[in-house]
Amino acid sequence: MKKLSQLINADYTFVARILDPSTAETVSFWGNETLYPPIQYSLKGTPCEDLRCSGESCVLHNVTNEYPADQFLIDLSVEGYIGITLSDEQGEVIGILSALYCSPIPQDQVELITRYFMSFANRASRELERIKYEHLLKHQIKDLQVTNDRLQIAQQVYDFSKDGIIVTNAENEIVYVNASLEAMSGYSLTELEGRDPRVLSSGQQDRLFYKGLWNDLAYKGYWQGEFWNRSKDGELYPVFTCISKIPDEQGGVKSYVAIHRDITSEKEAQALIAYQATHDSLTGMLNRYEFNEQLDRELFKVKARKNQGAFITLDVDDFKSINDTQGHGIGDMLLQMIAKRIKDCVQDSDIIARLGGDEFAIFTEFTDMHTVEQLINDLLAAFKPAFEFEALRLRCNTSIGVSIFPQDAVDCHELFKCSDQALYQAKNAGGATYAFFTPELRVAAERHQEVRLRLADAIEQGQIEVKYQPIVNLASGRVARVEALARWTDDTLGPVRPDEFIEIAEHSGLIQPLGCQIAEKALNGLARINRHLNRPIGISINRSPQEFVELVDEYDALPDLAKNAGVPPELISIELTESLMMKDPVLAKKQLNQLKEAGFKLSLDDFGTGYSSLAYLKNFPFDVLKVDRSFINDITEDKDDYVLVKTILEMAKNLGMHSVAEGVETAGQLALVEQLGCECVQGYYYSPAVSVDELLEYIAEHFPSQLK
Ligand code: C2E
Ligand code: CA
Ligand code: CA
C-alpha cells in the first residue's frame, strides 16, 4: 500500500473487503506514513457504493460536495477520489481499491493512476480472495469443533449413563452397547456385536409380547415397557426399557436405540411394600386384610372341590395382663413364639394370619373332621410348654373358636362372626379350651346384639332403675343397709336380668355410663329412705371391674355423686368381685386405696366362687366379705357347704372383716349362718330387692322402730 501511495502520489490508499451488500472492512489502509488497523464502515452514501455499480469511479475534486453524507471523507479533508472494484475469479465483487487525495487530482494524472491501480488490483484481488477463504476455513474449523464437542458429549453420555444403551442396525443386529449395559448383562460389546438383543432376554416374555413391541415400533416409532433379562451368569434382572426407531433419510429404519434401566431396587422396594401391606410385621404371618383376600379365593376352590373348611380363631388368654406386667417387649416376643408354635401345627396349604393383638386365625380345608379335631388338640397342646425367655418363664393358654364352611356359613365375613361367637363361648368357659360354633350361639349372639343396642338407648334415656334389698344385722336386729340392684325392663325385650345386661355393658364400652347412672340413682334413693329413718342406714353398690378399667383419666365420679346426694362415704360400701384383682392387681390396688382414702367401705362379693385367694383378702383393703349364695343355698343339706361357710366366716373374723351371708331364703339357713357367727344376712327370707316406697313399707311392717 505504501508503495502504491508513493507511486500514485495519494494521501491515503486502502483495500477493503466487502462483508455484505452494505458494509465493508479495510484490510489494508495506508496514509500519513501509517498502516491503520481494520475499519468497518457503511457503504451507504459513499463513493464506494457507486463504485460497486460502475466498477470504477473517479472524482477529481470536491468529492465531499458530491458525497456530503460520507463523514469519513470530510474528516480526512479529501478532495479527490479514485476507486475500482476487486473481483474474484468468478467475477464476483469482493472488494474495493481506493486512493484519496487531499488536493484535487490533476486530470493528466488520472490515466497513470488508473494503470497502476489495474496492475495492483490483480494482486489485491488474490489477496482478498485468500483472506476470504481463510475466513471461510476458520468458520468451518469452528463448526467442526462444535460438532466434535457434541460428539464428545454424546460419547460421554453413553459412557457415564447409568442406563444400559443398545444400538442396533435396521436388521436389529447389535452395533453398539455402552459400559453400563456391559456391566448389567455381563456381556462385552465384542460378545454382543452382530447379535439379536434377544440374547439378553430371560425368555419370560412370550411371542405376543414381542409382537406388540414390534408393532409399536413400526407404527409409533417407539416402545416402552418392562423386561425380565438374564445376565451372562444366568441371573434374572428386571429392566424398564425404551426403544426408539431412528429413521434414515428415506424414512426407512437406520437403527434402533434401546435404553435399559435396571429396576431391581424399585422391584425390591415394590415387593417390600406389597409384603408389608399384606403381612404382620411382628410375626410374618398374613395380616387380617390379606387373610380375608386369600380366604375369599380359597373358599371358592374348596367349594369347587366339594370339601369343607374349618375357620379357627385363637385368642391368647390373659395376654393383656402379661403385656402390662412384663412390658411390651416381652409381649411382642411372646407373640412371636406363639406364632411359631402355631405355624408348627399347621400344614403348608393352610392359611394362617395374625388378625391383630393376640388374635390369630387359621383356615384349613378338610374332608375328615378328625383332622380338624387333631389340629385343635395340637394347638391347645402347643401352649402347654412354658415360653422361655432369658431369665423368665411364662405360661399362657389360648381359647379357640371354630366355624365350619359351608355348614355354618358360606362367606368369609359370616365365618368370622361364627368362630368369634364360638371363641367367646370358649372364653366364657374359662379359656384354655375350644368351642365349635352352634346355631344356639348365633341366637345368643343375636340376643347379645339386640340387648346391646337397646341398652345403649336405655342408658341414654335414664331408664335403668334401682331396687333395694335389705341387709339385716343379726345382733342388732335392724336393717343395717341395703344393696342396690339394677333393674331394666325394655319395651320389647321385657325385663332383662342384670347379670345379662351388666355383662353386655362390660363388653361394649357401656359399663361406665351405666355404673354412674346406677350409683347416682341408688344414692338419691338412699337419701330418700334415710329421710324417713331415725338412724341412717348404709348402701352397698355393685361395681364391675371393667368400670375401673374404663375410668376416663382415672376420674372416679363416686365421691362427687355421694356429695351431691348428701350421703357420707362411710355409709357407702362398694361391692367388688375377685375378678378385678385378677385382671389388673396394680390398678385394682390403686383404685381401691383411693376409694378407701375417700372414706368408702369395700365389700368382697361372691366370695368362694372365684379363686377365693387368701392373698386378696390380706393384700386388699376389704371391710366386708360376702359369702356367695350358692353355698348358703345348700347349707342345710350339704355338709361340705356348711364346712366351707364356717371356714370362710372364721377367716373373715380373724382378718377383722365384717361378714354378710347372701341368698338366705329359709329360717333353717338363717339359723345356721347365725350359729356360725355371721354378722349380717340378706335374702328372700327377708325381702327381695324392692323400690324405695316398698322398702319403706317393709321397714314399717317388720322394723318399725327404725322409722322416725
Ligand atoms: P350379686 O351382686 O351377687 O347380687 C345378688 C343377687 O342375688 C341379686 O340378683 C339378688 O336379687 C339375688 N338374691 C338376693 N337374695 C336372694 C335369694 O335369697 N335367693 C336368690 N336365689 N337370689 C337372691 P340380681 O339382682 O339378679 O343380680 C344379679 C347380679 O347382677 C348381681 O349379683 C350382680 O353381680 C349384678 N348386678 C346387679 N346389679 C348391679 C349393679 O348395679 N352393678 C353391677 N356392677 N352389677 C350388678
Ligand atoms: Ca352384690
Ligand atoms: Ca353376690
Q: Is residue 204 part of a domain?
A: yes
Neighbours of 325 (CB within 10 A): 13
Residues 516 and 614 in one domain: yes
Please, which residues bridge with residue 512 across strands?
Answer: none
Residue 628, classed as helix, strand or coil, is: coil
Residue nearest to atom 17 of ligand 1 (CA): 663
Q: What is the pLDDT of residues 491-503, one digit of tens each?
A: 999 999 999 999 9
From 416, 437, 458, give the residue that closes a domain: 437
Q: What is the mean pLDDT of residues 44-65?
A: 83
CB 454 within 8 A of CB 493: yes
439: nearest Cα among 407, 405, 400, 406: 407
CATH number of residue 250's parent domain: 3.30.450.20
Q: Which residue has the cell 330418700?
A: 528
Q: Does ligand 1 lie within 6 Å of residue 164's CB atom? A: no
> 101 φ, ψ to 5°?
-120, 135
Please, which residues bridge with residue 484 across strands?
Answer: 468, 541
Q: Is residue 137 part of a domain?
A: no
Nearest ligand to the CA atom of 523: 1
Q: Output the CA 629–ligand 3 centroid distance in Å.
A: 7
Residues 528 and 676 in one domain: yes
What is the dihedral angle through the alpha carbons of 524, 529, 532, 535, rounded to the nearest 10 degrees? Answer: -100
* 32 has a pLDDT exceeding 90: no
Q: Does ligand 1 lie within 6 Å of residue 50's CB atom? A: no
Residues 375 and 524 in one domain: no
Q: What is the mean pLDDT of residues 22-29?
A: 92
Query: Quick one: pLDDT band at residue 243, thresholds 50, 70, 90?
Result: very high
Residues 561 and 650 in one domain: yes
Q: What is the pLDDT of residues 274-290, one digit of tens each?
A: 999 999 999 999 999 99
Q: Which residue has the cell 416402552?
A: 224
CB 635 within 8 A of CB 683: no
pLDDT attached to residue 203:
82
pLDDT attached to residue 345:
97
From 59, 88, 121, give the residue that closes a domain: 121
Q: Is residue 278 part of a domain?
A: no
Q: Output the CA 422–ligand 1 centroid distance in Å.
A: 27
pLDDT attached to residue 278:
95
Nearest ligand to the CA atom of 518: 1
Q: Output the CA 622–ligand 1 centroid distance in Å.
A: 19
Kindly report which listed range (39-53, 261-275, 404-418, 508-522) carries the lowest average pLDDT score. Answer: 39-53
Residues 432 and 482 in one domain: no
In angstroms and rounded to an integer, the radius of gyration of the C-alpha atoms of the chain is 54
Percent of the chain at pLDDT > 90 equals 74
Q: What is the mean pLDDT of residues 456-472?
A: 97
Q: Which residues surround ligand 3, an ion (CB under 5 A)?
A: 605-606
Highest-confidence range of 18-27, 442-451, 698-707, by mean pLDDT?
698-707
Residues 208 and 314 in one domain: no
Residue nearest to atom 24 of ligand 1 (CA): 498
Q: Which residue has the cell 352397698?
A: 540
**What is the total count of domains within the chain?**
4
Residue nearest to atom 19 of ligand 1 (CA): 663
Q: Does ligand 1 lie within 6 Å of residue 502's CB atom? A: yes
Distance CA 364, CA 295 (A): 10
pTM recorded for the entire structure: 0.60
pLDDT attached to residue 330:
93
482: nearest Cα among 682, 624, 630: 682
Q: Is residue 80 part of a domain?
A: yes
Q: Is residue 140 part of a domain?
A: no
Q: Residue 667: which H helix or E strand, with range?
A: helix 667-675
Q: Output the CA 575–ligand 2 centroid distance in Å.
A: 6
* 615 has a pLDDT exceeding 80: no
Q: Output the CA 339–ligand 2 centroid distance in Å.
A: 41
Nearest ligand to the CA atom of 689: 1
Distance of CA 406 to CAs 16, 111, 360, 421, Å? 106, 127, 21, 17
Distance of CA 47 to CAs 5, 21, 75, 95, 114, Å? 19, 14, 15, 13, 16
Q: Is residue 519 part of a domain?
A: yes
Q: What is the secondary structure of 171-218 as a DSSP string?
A: T--EEEE-HHHHHHHS--HHHHTTS-GGGGB-S-S-HHHHHHHHHHHH
Q: Does ligand 1 lie within 6 Å of residue 629's CB atom? A: yes
673: nearest Cα among 693, 644, 702: 644
Burial (CB count <10 Å: 0-12, 13-18, 19+), residue 292 = middle
Q: What is the mean pLDDT of residues 506-512?
A: 93
CATH number of residue 344's parent domain: 3.30.70.270
Q: What is the secondary structure of 436-484 as a DSSP string?
A: E--HHHHHHHHHHHHHHHHHHHHHHTT--EEEEEEEEETTTTEEEEEEE
Q: What is the pLDDT of residues 106-160, one digit of tens each?
A: 988 888 888 888 888 888 888 888 888 898 899 999 999 999 999 999 889 888 9
CATH number of residue 530's parent domain: 3.20.20.450
Residues 117 and 243 in one domain: no
* 613 has a pLDDT exceeding 80: no
Query: Please, what sign has the CA dihedral across residues 28, 29, 35, 41?
Result: negative
Closest ligand 1 atom, residue 466 Cα: 41
- Does residue 106 have a cis bond before it (omega within 30 degrees)? no
Q: Does ligand 1 lie within 6 Å of residue 486's CB atom? A: yes
Nearest ligand to the CA atom of 516: 1
86 is written with which cell numbers?
A: 476487486
Q: What is the secondary structure of 300-348 as a DSSP string?
A: HHHHHTT-EEEEEEEEETTHHHHHHHH-HHHHHHHHHHHHHHHHHHS-T
Cα 582 to chain centroid, rounded: 37
Residue among 503, 523, 542 to mutate when testing ligand 1 (max atoms within 8 A of CB):
542
193: nearest Cα among 222, 173, 220: 173
pLDDT attached to residue 453:
96
Query: Quick one: pLDDT band at residue 486, thresholds 50, 70, 90?
Result: very high
Distance CA 185, CA 192 (A): 10
221 is written with which cell numbers?
A: 416409532
Residue 99, classed as helix, strand or coil, is: strand
625: nearest Cα among 672, 587, 664, 578: 578
* CA atoms within a 13 Å half-sphere pointing along the CA-CB vector of 147: 6
pLDDT attached to residue 589:
87
> 651 φ, ψ to 5°?
-60, -45
Q: Is residue 110 part of a domain?
A: yes
Q: Does ligand 1 lie within 6 Å of residue 499's CB atom? A: yes
Neighbours of 680 (CB within 10 A): 23
Distance CA 465, CA 488 (A): 6
Distance CA 624, CA 239 (A): 78
Distance CA 460, CA 516 (A): 12
Residues 321 and 426 in one domain: yes
Q: Does ligand 1 lie within 6 Å of residue 672's CB atom? A: no
Q: What percent of the chain is helix, strand and coil (3-state, nearest 5)?
A: 45, 25, 25
Residue nearest to atom 2 of ligand 1 (CA): 542
Q: Does ligand 1 lie within 6 Å of residue 681's CB atom? A: no
Q: Does ligand 1 lie within 6 Å of residue 498's CB atom? A: yes
User: The domain containing residue 218 runs over which residues?
Assistant: 163-267
CB 487 within 8 A of CB 498: yes
Residue among 482, 483, 485 to mutate when testing ligand 1 (max atoms within 8 A of CB):
485
Percent of the chain at pLDDT > 70 equals 99
* 439 has a pLDDT exceeding 90: yes
> 576 φ, ψ to 5°?
-130, 150
Nearest ligand to the CA atom of 606: 3
Q: Output the CA 485–ligand 1 centroid distance in Å.
A: 6
Residue nearest to atom 30 of ligand 1 (CA): 499
Closest ligand 1 atom, residue 575 Cα: 2
Rounded to the nearest 5 degrees, what angle is found at the Cα of 345, between the Cα atoms of 343 and 350?
70
Residue nearest to atom 29 of ligand 1 (CA): 499
Distance CA 17, CA 36 (A): 15
pLDDT attached to residue 611:
67
CATH number of residue 55's parent domain: 3.30.450.40
Residues 349 and 475 in one domain: no
Q: Does ligand 1 lie within 6 Å of residue 684's CB atom? A: yes
Q: What is the pLDDT of residues 162-215, one digit of tens each?
A: 999 999 999 999 999 999 999 999 999 999 999 999 899 888 888 899 999 999
Residues 19 and 44 in one domain: yes
From 236, 267, 298, give the residue that closes a domain: 267
CB 79 within 8 A of CB 123: no
Q: Does ligand 1 lie within 6 Å of residue 683's CB atom? A: yes
Per the model's pLDDT, the better-predicted residue between 445 and 413 turns out to be 413
Closest ligand 1 atom, residue 499 Cα: 30
Residues 432 and 474 in one domain: no
Q: Does ligand 1 lie within 6 Å of residue 665's CB atom? A: yes
319: nearest Cα among 383, 373, 403: 383
Residues 203 and 311 in one domain: no
Q: Which residue has the cell 365375613?
A: 413
129 is written with which cell numbers?
A: 480472495
Across 46-162, the runs of DSSP E, i.e. the strands, are 56-59, 80-87, 93-101
Query: Quick one: pLDDT band at residue 46, thresholds 50, 70, 90?
Result: confident
Q: Is residue 133 part of a domain?
A: no
Q: Which residue has the cell 377383722?
A: 656
> 671 φ, ψ to 5°?
-60, -45
Nearest ligand to the CA atom of 575: 2
CB 387 within 8 A of CB 334: yes
